[in-house]
Amino acid sequence: MDAFMKDGLAGDTITFDLASDPVRALNAELHDPSGKVYEVLHPAGAHAVAAGIDRGITVDVRGHAGYYAAGMNDGGIVTIHGNAGTGVAENMMSGTVRVTGDASQSAGATAHGGLLVIGGSASMRCGISMKGVDIVVGGSVGSMSAFMAQAGRMVVCGDAGDGLGDSIYEARLYVRGTVGTLGADCVEKPMRDEHRAELAELLAAADLDHDPGGFRRYGSARRLYHFTSEHSGSY
């Protein structure tokens, strides 16, 4: 482990090189940090990089990360300068996770809070069972995204695959491009002024400048909250 000054800022940046340092040692340091700013070199697709952070430290991962990167994040600011594997920011509670490239399936799964920004596209089941997180995807998302999404907001600046919002509860979805098909109980809803304002804030937080007027909103039709025989074919 090596420490050095970064960009002339006060305080040291602590650097881990995963070509020689194990992920276990990195995460142990991040769980009980001796500094505030970290840089991770040569991640080479390692799994669980920067998982379990529970305070407001900053971590820059310089390369591609594997499964469950920044999982369970609670307050950290984590940037993955590359692509991320399955389950990035899974079960995140607060803080910010950014992926400059693409993300594999189940990005932001079950996340309760915070902001997940994916600069590229995300694979299937993005935001599955999301419980309060905000997810902004600069590109497109795959099929069954926002499946059983309970709360939070998802913004898709590209297209969405089939089954968007299947069995959705109270999450709000905004899509700029086309939607393959809508899932069970997910419907298009009107875009009112409060939704355009909300969307503008989310786009600004993700450093995107799209016109909120170019998006459509989707949410729950609220037909599947309680079992009824006339809707049995939708379950």
The domain 39-234 having CATH identifier 2.160.20.60: the answer here is: yes
| Ranges 1-15, 25-39, 95-109, 195-209: which has the least confidence | 1-15
**pLDDT tops 80 at residue 176:** yes
Distance CA 130, CA 3 (A): 37
Q: What is the pLDDT of residue 99?
A: 98
Question: Is 93 in contact with 69 (CB distance < 8 Å)?
Answer: no
**pLDDT tops 60 at residue 109:** yes
For the chain, what's the residue count? 235
**pLDDT tops 80 at residue 214:** yes
**Residue ranges covered by each domain of the chain:** 39-234
Q: How confident is the model at residue 235 (pLDDT cuts 50, 70, 90)?
A: low
**pLDDT tops 60 at residue 126:** yes
Higher-confidence position of 227 and 16: 16
CA-nearest of 232, 153, 159 to 195 is: 153
DSSP state for residue 231 in the 8-state scheme: G
Mean pLDDT on 118-139: 98
